[in-house]
Structure 1
Amino acid sequence: MSKSTLQQQLKKSAPFDSLPQETYLNLLRTHNMIAAAPSHLLKQHGLSSAQYNVLRILEAADPPGLPCLEIVSRMVTRVPDITRLIDRLKEAGLVSRTRSQTDRRVIRIKLTKKGEALIAELAEPLVDIHQLNLGHMTKAELVELNRLLVKAREAAENAAAK
């Protein structure tokens, strides 16, 4: 049996324990390679990918402003301490906190003009990075890859819910 591409890249002499293990490691390696350029760009602007994710969630919020728990529920990756993440964004002047007039327990997080400007500044460079990383794939391949990733994630989410 010939070595898999990942096995060659990792200079691994023995085969993987299983195909699911190889697939998991392939996903992990691919994520690290594809995430490097966006992470570098965001870091140049003082942001983590989780912070950028919060800014994009707030940008899409209608009406403007969301409570922290709603932001967490919409995030691509889960963060253990949303309060500290929001604190950093507030310190940078990218978001503001407003206490609800109807329910004083609820604090809404809103994007500031500075936050909107930063999202606008990052939009084109991020599109270029995504095109560079994935633009070589056909539309059909990307649709199929997305379908398979959703299928894999659903199984993991169902297992986590038990």
Structure 2
Amino acid sequence: MNVEEVIKTNFEIPIYKRTIIHMSLVKNKIDEEVTLSLKPYDITIQQFNVLSILRGQKGNPANLSTINERMVSKMSNTTRLVDKLILKGFVIRSVCKQNRRKVEILITKEGLQILEKIDGILFETEKTILKNFNETELHELNRLLNKF
């Protein structure tokens, strides 16, 4: 279903509203496709995001604040996400030796392995989502989105 079908009415919808609706529909479609590709690994988009952030630490731990700042979706409950990843064996939590009030999160070998499996699947999913765009159009789309 495209945006025109969704917002069909008897009056003209202002372009600003149409744009917001369209962007919301696109975001939902992307989330659906990514969620579907992550489902076989029992990982949510937010959990994948946490694991990716920790992989980017290159073996160094991160605290909850750092993870939360780098999350794509700021609405996520980072503590809950980390707890679920601990139960799956993908991350470990420890108390910082220098500052006992600071909790550090580190990705495990299993966490790195699951990301390695997911990377290829997610790459193909992203290519499929964007299959109707050529490279020039993607550059232009990114240029426009950077205006946010």
Q: TM-score, normalised by structure 1?
A: 0.83
Deviation at 1:135, TM superposition (A): 3.5
What is the aligned partner in structure 1 of residue 14 from structure 2? 18
Please, which moves more after superposition, 10-19 or 139-148? 10-19
Alignment-derived partner of residue 66 in structure 2: 70
Does the 8 A contact of 1:93 with 1:112 survive in 2?
yes
SS at match of 2:23: helix
Measure how far apart 1:16 and its partner are.
Answer: 4.8
Q: Distance in 1 between matches of 2:19 and 2:57?
A: 35
2:142 to 137, 143, 146: 146
Structure 1 match to 2:3: 6
Aligned residues: 147
Instruction: Calculate the aligned-residue CA RMSD, in Å.
Output: 1.6
Give the Å deviation of 1:75: 0.9
Deviation at residue 85 of structure 1 after TM alignment? 1.1
Q: Which amino acid aligns with 2:80?
A: R
Moved >6 Å (runs of 4+):
none
Alignment-derived partner of residue 40 in structure 2: 44
SS in 2 for 1:123: helix
1:135 is matched with 131
Which protein has greater RCO, CA pairs closer than 8 Å, 6+ apart? 2
CA distance in 2, matches of 1:99, 1:11: 52
Deviations 1:55-75 (A, max 9, x none): 000001145210000011111
Deviations 1:16-51 (A, max 9, x none): 531111000101111122222210121221111111
Do 2:64 and 2:104's aligned partners in 1 also have CA atoms closer than 8 Å?
A: yes
Change (3 A) 1:99 1:132: same
Gap regions ≥5 residues in structure 1 = 153-162
User: Partner of 1:104 in structure 2?
Assistant: 100
CA distance in 1, matches of 2:67, 2:61: 9
Match of 1:92 in 2: 88
TM superposition score normalised by structure 2? 0.91
Q: Secondary structure at the match of 2:10?
A: coil
- Percent identity reads 28
Shift of 1:80: 4.2
Matched, 1:120 2:127: no
